[in-house]
Amino acid sequence: MVTVDQLQKSTNVDSGFYKQVRGTPIKSSHGEKKSIIKKQVEQLIFDLKRGFIQFVTLYLIAEKPRYPYEIKEDILKITRGAFNIDRNNLYKKLRLLEKDGFLTSQMEPSFRGADRKYYAITPFGRTLFKELCGTLIPVMSSLHGRVRKIKIIDT
């Protein structure tokens, strides 16, 4: 096993980035730093998707009844391609929302192939969506405002 001291001796101390391992700085290359950042961003997106699917699905269906493919495409547009939702996960979430009484579904004929299952929001679903908005929007707004103050993002 390589120790922190051995790693420090085997690296060039004058170049690259540092990362923390048990509180001791260890030399890492620019490529390693990018890899670490990419991994963290991917983990954040994975974690956000889990709750985001429910929220954005209710939002989209509250606008108008929709079928799953349309929801998936709209999520891609809203997230600028960042959240490519697996269709099986979307179907599972839609069935769960319907089972819990937040959505209803109805088969409709399609001009292009097989009939489509459209989902519509119920009054109970609108209540849930309002609750989610009441919780998420102030948190997101506050966080966005705080990040802007430290000038990390431009908006």
Q: What is the pLDDT of residues 66-117, one digit of tens each?
A: 999 999 999 999 989 888 888 898 999 999 999 999 999 999 998 888 899 9
Taking 90 as the threshold, does the pLDDT of residue 10 lie above it? Answer: no
Half-sphere exposure of 72 (CA within 13 A, CB side): 14
- The four Cα atoms 133, 139, 142, 146 give a dihedral, to 10 degrees, of -140
**Topology at the third CATH level for domain 31-149:** Arc Repressor Mutant, subunit A (1.10.10)
